[in-house]
Structure 1
Amino acid sequence: MMEKKDVADYGLPPRETMILEEYREKHATFEKLLQVVKNILSESIASNSIYINALEARIKAEDSLAGKLERKAGKYSSLSDLTDILGVRVITFYSDEVDKIAALVGEIFEIDWENSIDKRKMHDIHSFGYSSLHYICRVPRALFEDPAYPELNDIRFEVQMRTALQHVWSVLDHDTGYKSGFEVPKEYLRNINRLAGMLELADEQFCAIRTGINNYRRHVQSLVRSGKFDEVPLDGDSFGNYLELRPFDSLNNRIASINQAEIHETSLVGYLKLFLFLGFKTLGDIEKMIKENSEDAYQLAAFQLANTDLDIINSSLAVVNLCAVHVLKRGGGVLELTRCLDELNGPSEVNRSRAEHLYGRAKKLAFMEAANS
């Protein structure tokens, strides 16, 4: 283990040397504060159901602090003048979530508004550079207090809030810009700014796309609840909302009553691909199929169960029989039934046997005679 460097070895002026000594003396308090702030933020973000990319926290390294004190000699009178010894960064996925996190931080901590800054509003028309929202905070005693660390509530710390793409830009800009130690040639700077503009546009578009999708989902939910099924395109979101109405329950209950059977509930989400395979475009197409084929689907199920003592049926039985009747009424046979089962379950010889069984039962029923006449 390397021996700790003596504070005097940094060669700082007397005041800056005292600040560095104070930093060492209070390091344990900063470590405690780091854990307190991370815990408070993590719990608050989770309890508000905000899904973030990352929550990071760090205490400024001694060498980094010494370098800052050297560059800005005379600016600071004591360690308390520095607000970034403890830095916390919350990285969100979407730009509108930065404001949600900011509101949350404002509710939790005491904010030093005079020294807080929203760098997102500082770009001029020639700048595409990414930045973030910076709040200077304290932990209020009403929220947390520890007699073992009496100075903890007096220490200011920085909370940075930015999107994942803003964070990417910040890292790239840091590595290709001032950190390299020389002025970036204009041809490279232009490309950096173009890239930053692309990232900024991507950030905006991701947020806009998510907003659009959420609005679409709410619109679909409203149409489904109101029963306007012909206006609802058939897709994963709309089908999921439709299943919440339990449209196949009535037929399942009729079928179960044949043997006074129990209904074993199973997910019907996978049947979306079968309906799409059958060419259905809207939820109205499914509703039409149910209205037109329920009685024949019931008769087909009754024919299958009549001579059995089966006392448990699967909740998918209704939809399977509805689809089978739908196919058969349109002139389909064993081949078409097999293709439907292959689409639903994946290709298998079992599907052929099952299709033959269904067809054998169905051809004795009245609706098949009408379809073939």
Structure 2
Amino acid sequence: MNEIDKNIQEFKIWYENELPHHNAAVNFFCQLIGAIPKVELVKGRTKSYEECISKFTRKYLPYIDKKEKEVIISNYLTDLIGIRAVCFYAEEVYEIRRGLRKYFKELEITDKSSQLEKTEDKFGYKSLHLKLVLKRGLKGIDNAGKFNNIQIELQVRTVIQDAWSVLDHKIKYKKSIPQGLKRRINRLSALFEIADEEFSNIQKEILKEENKINYRLKKGGRIETLKTLDVFRFLFVALKYFPNYDFSEFKVDGFVQEILLLKSDFTEGALNKALQENLSHVDTIEKSINQHLNPYTKIRYCLYKSNIEKFKTILSEHQQGIFDTLD
């Protein structure tokens, strides 16, 4: 048995002895990183023994003197633990990096996004790769001391970057394929990149519209009577009458679609008029039945009273019965 074979055997014993500790470290780091703002998903794993030996043999062994006796393979494998953190938007990648600095010291950084943007003929997935180690003396973090000396490799990606990375790994023979196939893969990669940018841009536009709502409410903005209802115009009107209610985005979206299915040309002004003219009557119904009605239900009653023919189905038969009895 030559010296390298002995070193490999020693590494195998070390790997198996340390595996429970490394697996515990994976759980610890996933919990710690998962609590950082903007991280939506976090996964981690310990590199398998076979992967470790394959990497050592391919990347480091050719440059090691075969007569050298003191070769500690574990010292070459700084990415034994790999963690992947996923966020929604590209700008959140660097927010997460700032959050990580509270707990970790950066040993090395590779920005694959910047690398790919500087090339014209390469394809792959964008992400931020960090080699990290816990800072010393962390307070309030249970068991941090157990994992002080463990280096981890963390990849931070958006949801779309992560999806492309999964598909990218499934594409065989990427480096030496015919130019026509390379071009098609490049086009596919570009589509994912465009989708990532558009996803971020759409979110920014949504935030911009939400800020407009808040500004209009703050400044006492006028009702734009002829503008067709959408989620933002609905919120502007609804929040005037129910300023302390949390209108969740999913419910609002479905409710506005329900209204527009019944009357496709329904406007911001029409909604405001329905509430202005009928809300006091609905408050009377609420007191009469001695039952709290949430804003959605109150708005339904107001719409029904404003135009029974168009909005008949916006109330259940039971609700219609209550309304007709007390009207």
Flag structure 2 segments of 5+ consecutive residues without an equivalent: 65-70, 244-250
**1:345 — aligned with what?**
315
1:175 and 2:170 matched: yes
String of CA shifts for 1:98-127, please: whole Å, max 9, x gaps: 222222122221111xx2211111121233
Q: 1:175 to 1:354 in 2, by over 3 A?
A: closer
Distance in 2 separating the partners of 1:313 and 1:145: 48
Match of 2:100 among 105, 112, 116: 105
Match of 1:62 in 2: 49
Deviations 1:74-98, CA, capped at 9 Å, x for gaps: 5585323322100100122221222
Q: Distance in 2 between matches of 1:226 and 1:147?
A: 50
CA distance in 1, matches of 2:77, 2:283: 77
Tell me the amino acid that sits aligned with residue 312 of structure 1: N
Cα 1:116–1:81 shift into 2, 3 Å: farther
2:263 is matched with which residue? 277
How far the C-alpha of 1:200 sits from its partner, in A, is 0.6
How far the C-alpha of 1:195 sits from its partner, in A, is 0.5
Query: Could you state the TM-score of these two structures normalised by the residue count of structure 1?
Result: 0.66
Say whether 1:235 aligns with 2:213.
no
SS in 2 for 1:135: strand
- How far residue 66 of structure 1 moved from its aligned partner, in angstroms, is 0.9
The structure-2 alpha-carbon separation of the partners of 1:135 and 1:310, relative to structure 1 and needing over 3 Å to count, comes to: closer
Shift of 1:147: 9.9
Residues in 1 aligned to 2:144 and 2:288: alpha-carbon distance in whole angstroms: 70
1:33–1:323 CA distance, 2 compared to 1 (3 A)? closer
Partner in structure 1 of residue 183 of structure 2: 190
1:34 aligns with one of 19, 26, 30: 26
Alignment of 1:1-373 (within 5 A): 12-42=4-34, 44-45=35-36, 48=37, 50=38, 52=40, 54-72=41-59, 73=61, 78=72, 79-112=74-107, 115-123=108-116, 124-143=119-138, 149=146, 152-178=147-173, 183-231=176-224, 234-246=229-241, 273-274=258-259, 277=263, 279-282=265-268, 284-288=269-273, 293=277, 310=288, 312=290, 315=293, 326-327=306-307, 337-342=308-313, 344-345=314-315
Tell me if the contact between 2:237 and 2:271 (Cα under 8 Å) persists in the aligned partners.
no
Indicate if the aligned counterparts of 1:80 and 1:156 stay in contact, CA closer than 8 A: no
* Paired-residue identity, %: 22
- 1:218-269 CA distances to partner (integer Å, 9 max, x unpaired)? 1122113322142476323432343333269xxxxxxxxxxxxxxxxxxx96
TM, length-normalised to structure 2:
0.74
Deviation at 1:192? 0.9
8 Å CA contact 1:338–1:355 kept in 2: the answer is no
2:168 is aligned with what amino acid? D
Which residue identity is paired with 2:45?
A: R
Deviation of 1:15 (Å) = 4.6
RMSD: 4.1
Higher gyration radius (CA): 1
Structure 1: 5+ residue stretches without partners: 1-7, 249-267, 328-336, 362-373
Residues 209 and 232, structure 2, Cα contact 8 Å, conserved in 1: no
Encode CA deviations 1:149-188: one digit per residue, 9 max, x unaligned. Answer: 4xx312211111112222222222222245x8x8323222
**Contact 2:131 / 2:152 at 8 angstroms: preserved in 1?**
yes
CA contact (8 A) 1:84 1:157 kept: yes
Indicate how the Cα distance of structure 1 residues 202 and 322 shifts in structure 2: closer, same or farther if over 3 A, else same. Answer: closer
Equivalent residues of 1:301, 1:321 under 8 A apart? no
C-alpha contact 1:92 1:98 (8 A) present in aligned 2 = yes
Matched letter for residue 54 of structure 2:
G
Contact 2:127 2:155 in 1 (8 A): yes
Change in 2 beyond 3 A, CA 1:166/1:247: closer
